[in-house]
Amino acid sequence: MDWMVETRVKVRLAFVSIFILGIAAGALGVSVYYRGIDPGRPSGWTGRFDRERYVKQMTEAVGLQPEQMGGLNAILDGTREEFLALRARLRPQFDEVRQRARVRIRGILNAEQQGRFEAFVKRWDEERRAEEQAASGAKAGRRAP
């Protein structure tokens, strides 16, 4: 009878050990998979178009020839201009939504936090304006698909 109890314990320990090893192997596999996809790529969309990366990957995927690069660049430049114009038209609507959100945020803050929030918003807006100016300036490839 004792040998049956001992056997059951061994079987359970083996089952638990295999289960834990399976979890560890799965986690390792997922980690290796995600590192192998594109190690230099940021995780998630940053909201910016990386023209150099796009052209490189498209060239590899489609097999673009050097004589096609001029046409591709003209298309990307034109698309960039369309996005900039669209952004300019929609900016007032985005600003309205942003201002409503800020009013609601101010409503949950105490007086001391509101002062710090105003300083935060000022810095945030300055950074956003600088980014928008850079995007619409000489860096032609940063924001268009």
Question: Which of 80, 65, 49 lies closest to 142, judged by CA?
Answer: 49
Lowest mean pLDDT among 4-8, 19-23, 92-96, 125-129: 4-8
Question: Which of 12, 141, 7, 3 lies closest to 81, judged by CA?
Answer: 141
d(CA 47, CA 61) in angstroms, rounded, equals 23
Lowest mean pLDDT among 2-6, 40-44, 127-131: 40-44
d(CA 106, CA 60) in angstroms, rounded, equals 50
Confidence of residue 38 (pLDDT cuts 50, 70, 90): low
Mean pLDDT of the 21-38 span? 76
What pLDDT sits at residue 6? Answer: 83
**Is the separation of the CB atoms in 84 and 136 below 8 Å?**
yes
Confidence of residue 61 (pLDDT cuts 50, 70, 90): very high
pTM: predicted TM-score of the whole model, two decimal places? 0.51
